[in-house]
Structure 1
């Protein structure tokens, strides 16, 4: 069995910390462990954003973007986890909004170009 070395090359008895270093239990960081952070809002935002791409609808895309922004700001403040998922939800939601707006513009341009009547 080997013993930990201190900075001066002297061996310390097992379990004893060198001078100037706080005692740390094996497997634990300094202080109590952090509780797991809630990621529910980020997960929900990502699910809604992906679902909006599947159904190709604008309202779920906007809801996913709004939920994603809320989850991202909470994660940046340290109140929740899932910052990456929230950012992905924002990006996917904006892509969904862009697709819906692009399709709407395409239909309007085609309607104008072919003189469609709605009678």
Structure 2
């Protein structure tokens, strides 16, 4: 046996006192990596934070089904914030944030169209408020 031990895959061992880097670090026999590390390629701890995107989607969906204009507006605002955070890499859930924006704007458009139809119907039938 030679010292330092040779890797069968041709990789050189790390110099003394330095840990090998990368997602697949070699651990000494019988030891396990620290919990939560290593993260896989392209992942970071912040990408797991999707709370604002979920909140935006829930507000937009509730606003759509209950015709709540206020909740739809809240969903759109939260969706914009969540999508900006996802684009900067501070959080995940960019797809959910985009879905919240689409649903929220759709709900707001339905409310505006409904008010327009109500007003047009009132004008056409000469409703009078006495």
Aligned to 1:89: 100
Aligned counterparts of 2:7 and 2:90: Cα–Cα separation in 1: 42
Aligned to 1:6: none
Aligned-residue CA RMSD (Å): 2.4
Deviation at 1:57, TM superposition (A): 1.9
Alignment pair present for 1:58 and 2:69: yes
Aligned counterparts of 2:109 and 2:124: Cα–Cα separation in 1: 22
Aligned counterparts of 1:61 and 1:40: Cα–Cα separation in 2: 17
TM-score, scaled relative to structure 2: 0.70
2:120 alignment partner, SS class: helix
Aligned counterparts of 2:48 and 2:84: Cα–Cα separation in 1: 14
Q: Would you say how many aligned residue pairs link Structure 1 and Structure 2?
A: 102
Q: 1:13 to 1:57 in 2, by over 3 A?
A: closer
Which consecutive unaligned segments of at least 5 residues does structure 2 have?
1-5, 13-19, 27-36
Aligned counterparts of 1:23 and 1:107: Cα–Cα separation in 2: 65
TM-score, scaled relative to structure 1: 0.76
Deviation at 1:101, TM superposition (A): 0.1
Which consecutive unaligned segments of at least 5 residues does structure 1 have?
1-11
Aligned counterparts of 1:23 and 1:50: Cα–Cα separation in 2: 44
Q: 1:63 to 1:23 in 2, by over 3 A?
A: closer
Aligned counterparts of 2:77 and 2:125: Cα–Cα separation in 1: 37
Q: 1:23 to 1:113 in 2, by over 3 A?
A: closer
